Chain A
């Protein structure tokens, strides 16, 4: 059974800092790895999707990497802003089944 772990559970940084969120998964047989953002009381918004054959994806200040052999993915956020404050979740998907991590709650202080 797939298990997904995210470290740290919470992170507080000053505005402008670069940061890395970590995601690890136990079963490397995945179709893709996705990173999501969730604001309080809201649904999830997909940030980046990395297919199993890919190594990384970039969107603006976000960069996500995938290393299937080690069962790890990272989300790099450059020049963080207060508007980046949210919970970030990763999910490993295989043939319809998605397993989510518990998320990292990020606070960016002005």
Chain B
């Protein structure tokens, strides 16, 4: 089944403890991206990757890191999480180009205490 898989689904952590949210897709998509969704602020793009080893900042990259060492994986790293990074996170992928139909993962609800 074609899908984007995020793990974990729920995560509670404490300020400053490094964490990684994984994202994997099985559709051989070139493009992958991360978003956060907050009440009243909508869905905002954090980082995106057009291909392996190619990443770029979205609208809210501060406090986040990403890497794209393999085509199928695009982990989101929070080196020193803070409470303002408490949010619902989504990973998405697409073929890229003008036919950028986005496929989304189920989301990761992160709480930073």
Contact = CB atoms under 8 A, between A and B. Distances in A.
B106 A43 contact: yes
A31 B59 CA distance: 18
B52 to A, nearest CB: 14
5 contacts: A32-B100, A44-B43, A89-B42, A97-B45, A98-B102
A43 B104 contact: yes
Interface string A84-102: 0000010101001111111
A51 interface: yes
A93 B100 contact: yes
Contacts, number: 68
A46 B44 CA distance: 17
Contacts of B58: 97
Contact of A42 (B44, B103, B107): B107
Interface of B: 31, 33, 35, 42-45, 48, 50, 56, 58-59, 90, 92, 96-107
Given A42-B107, A43-B107, A102-B42, A97 B48 contact: yes
Contacts of A91: 43, 102
Range class of the A interface residue count: 20 to 34
A96 B35 CA distance: 12
Given A43-B107, A89-B43, A103-B42, A31 B102 contact: no
A96 B56 contact: yes
A51 B43 contact: no
Interface in A1-56: 1, 31-32, 34, 36, 41-46, 49, 51-53
A34 B90 contact: no
Contacts of B90: 43-44
A42 B88 CA distance: 10
Top-3 shortest CB links A-B: A100-B43, A43-B104, A102-B42
Query: Which of A1, A34, A44 has the largest count of B CB atoms less than 10 A from its CB?
Result: A44
Interface in A66-110: 89, 91, 93, 96-103
